[in-house]
């Protein structure tokens, strides 16, 4: 019997031990904080039993779950009690353990990433700092009422450090007033992270004095964790994107680099994927190509997704570098190169311009004669997108084996309540990081694209946007996440400067 921390929601924030146990479990008893997708991602085939947070019978929900666990363990099955975040933080662990102990069952606790840690990481800030916070206090905001046994927030105000408030949104009015009344400055920075690590993660910046009104106005979806203290300002102070809301549209699980860069500039990130990456229609062409890899001169990767597919299929075919002969690897840009290197493969060629034209030039040289005539290239790419590289290489007499290593499909619809929230709260920027995303975003967001500022990753993406009559406000100077955020931040800094100049008083 195992109590296992599921982390904040993203499958890749599970510990390795948790993932291994889940793969072998027979029964998983989980609460609502744990997304089903996480269990699917670790190939968990166990019976899944959801348990409610509250009990209608008036029975203690923790004790009731503990009795259920004891019964299941008594049947001799491998039981996992899976809890959001870390099992020992606000998880009624004590109550659930009691019936197990009474029945004489052994158990193990596997820790997980608790919400405060995941939230601080998402917002690009520390929870403690030598200069500003030498303590971290984790509290529940749910007890901020006048009951005698409740937490005394006025005393918490005296602790010079960071407060991480769980379950705090509903009672924000009470605890924030109590903290301010006890002397914590109303200007104390507050960061709120809602749905941390999930597709619809939102990170917002406010102050202690204003947070209750902000929660009321914005109604960020639960669960949300609130971090109060000087650390909440550490990464945001004077940042160009403070107060700006930026939408990330990249596929699920691929928005974190952009999110961290935006958060580091003080912006509020929202993540609504408009395309999804999946397996190709058939693995057969890639599997066959892998068996013949050593007969090629180059394997060319047009994206990190291609690298991931290649590495995984190599692994399943029980192949490694010994089977690759003298084949060399080319990557379209730094993220693809990083993916190769992380998997233990060196990258022999990366262009200075991170797009098909640049890759072509890097392979064939300025005069087009560096690649020996009749070279054999394997090109790993999505099932849609430009085919410039293949056409040009073939035109130069090379043999190109183009393989669909993954599929990219547009998301059909966006949850109307999420769209309504976007409309209500407003959005400053939408980031468009490929032509496929440009097309999907145009279809899903329609005329909203005319009122939001558009940040485009490359001239090719900008051309796709323009073809649909959407004009990008900024374009990254090179197609990387860092350059995209830099372009947004530069634009905002210019706007601020001209606003300041226009203000006759200052």
Binding site for ligand SAH (CB under 6 A): 8-9, 33, 83-86, 89-91, 114-115, 119, 166-167, 193-197, 223-225
The rounded Cα 199 to chain-centroid distance in angstroms is 6
- Angle 388-395/356-364 helices, nearest 10 degrees? 30
* Min dist. Cβ of residue 8 to ligand SAH (A): 4
Gyration radius from the chain CA atoms: 26
| Nearest-angstrom CA–CA distance, 331 and 347 | 7
End-to-end CA distance of the chain: 66
* Min dist. Cβ of residue 92 to ligand SAH (A): 9
Residues 6 or more apart from 200 whose CB is under 8 A from it?
A: 194, 221, 270, 271, 272, 418
Residue pair 196/168 in contact by the 8 Å Cβ criterion: no
Strands (E) in 237-316, as ranges, are 245-248, 268-271, 275-278, 298-301
Pairing of strands 429-432, 453-456: parallel
Residues 6 or more apart from 237 whose CB is under 8 A from it?
A: 266
Q: Which residue is nearest to ligand SAH (CB)?
A: 85
- What residues pair up with 202 in beta bridges, in sequence order? 194, 270
* Min dist. Cβ of residue 68 to ligand SAH (A): 18
* Min dist. Cβ of residue 133 to ligand SAH (A): 19
* Min dist. Cβ of residue 35 to ligand SAH (A): 9
* Min dist. Cβ of residue 119 to ligand SAH (A): 6
Distances (CA, A) of 427 to 65, 144, 387, 443, 486: 42, 32, 34, 17, 18
Structural tokens at position 227: 């971090």
* Min dist. Cβ of residue 10 to ligand SAH (A): 9
Residue pair 85/115 in contact by the 8 Å Cβ criterion: yes
DSSP H helix total and E strand total for the chain: 20, 20
Q: Which is nearer to ligand SAH, 85 or 124 (by Cβ)?
A: 85
Q: Which is nearer to ligand SAH, 65 or 480 (by Cβ)?
A: 65
Q: Which is nearer to ligand SAH, 28 or 347 (by Cβ)?
A: 28
* Min dist. Cβ of residue 61 to ligand SAH (A): 13
């Amino acid at each position: 019997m195992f109590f296992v921390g599921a982390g904040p929601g993203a499958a890749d924030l599970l510990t390795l031990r948790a993932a291994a146990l889940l793969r072998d479990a027979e029964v998983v008893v989980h609460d609502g904080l744990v997304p089903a997708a996480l269990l699917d991602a670790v190939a968990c085939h166990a019976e899944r039993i959801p348990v409610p947070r509250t009990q209608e019978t008036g029975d203690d929900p923790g004790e009731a779950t503990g009795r259920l666990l004891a019964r299941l363990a008594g049947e001799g099955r491998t039981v996992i009690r899976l809890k959001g975040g870390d099992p020992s933080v606000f998880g009624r662990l004590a109550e659930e353990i009691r019936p197990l102990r009474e029945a004489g069952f052994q158990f193990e606790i596997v820790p997980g990433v608790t919400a405060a840690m995941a939230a601080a990481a998402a917002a690009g800030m520390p929870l403690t700092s030598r200069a500003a916070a030498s303590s971290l206090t984790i509290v529940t905001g749910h007890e901020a009422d006048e009951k005698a046994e409740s937490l005394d927030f006025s005393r918490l105000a005296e602790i010079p450090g960071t407060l991480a408030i769980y379950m705090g949104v509903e009672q924000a009015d009470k605890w924030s007033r109590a903290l301010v009344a006890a002397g914590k400055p109303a200007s104390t920075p507050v960061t709120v992270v809602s749905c941390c690590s999930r597709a619809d993660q939102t990170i917002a910046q406010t102050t202690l004095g204003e947070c209750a009104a902000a929660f009321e106005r914005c109604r960020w979806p639960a669960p949300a964790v609130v971090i109060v203290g000087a650390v909440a300002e550490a990464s945001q102070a004077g940042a160009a994107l403070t107060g700006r809301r930026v939408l990330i549209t990249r596929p699920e699980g691929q928005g974190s680099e952009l999110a961290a860069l935006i958060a580091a500039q003080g912006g509020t990130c929202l993540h609504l994927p408009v395309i999804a990456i999946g397996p190709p229609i058939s693995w057969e062409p890639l599997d066959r190509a892998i068996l013949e890899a050593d007969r090629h001169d180059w394997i060319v990767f047009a994206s990190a997704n291609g690298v991931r597919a290649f590495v995984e299929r190599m692994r399943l075919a029980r192949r490694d570098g010994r089977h690759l002969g003298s084949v060399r690897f080319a990557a379209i840009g730094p993220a693809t190169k990083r993916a190769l290197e992380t998997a233990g493969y060196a990258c022999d060629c990366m262009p200075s311009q991170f797009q098909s034209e640049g890759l072509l030039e890097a392979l064939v040289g300025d005069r087009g004669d560096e690649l020996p005539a009749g070279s054999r290239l394997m090109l790993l790419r999505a099932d849609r997108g430009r085919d410039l590289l293949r056409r040009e290489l073939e035109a130069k007499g090379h043999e190109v084996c183009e393989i669909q290593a993954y599929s990219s499909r547009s998301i059909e619809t966006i949850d109307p309540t999420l769209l309504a929230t976007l409309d209500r709260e407003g959005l400053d920027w939408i980031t468009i990081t490929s032509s496929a995303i440009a097309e999907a975003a145009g279809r899903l967001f329609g005329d909203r694209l005319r009122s939001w500022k558009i940040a485009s990753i490359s001239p090719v993406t900008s051309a796709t946007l323009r073809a649909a009559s959407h004009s990008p406000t900024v374009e990254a100077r090179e197609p990387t996440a860092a350059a995209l955020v830099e372009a947004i931040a530069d634009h905002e800094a210019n706007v601020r400067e001209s606003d300041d100049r226009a203000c006759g008083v200052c």
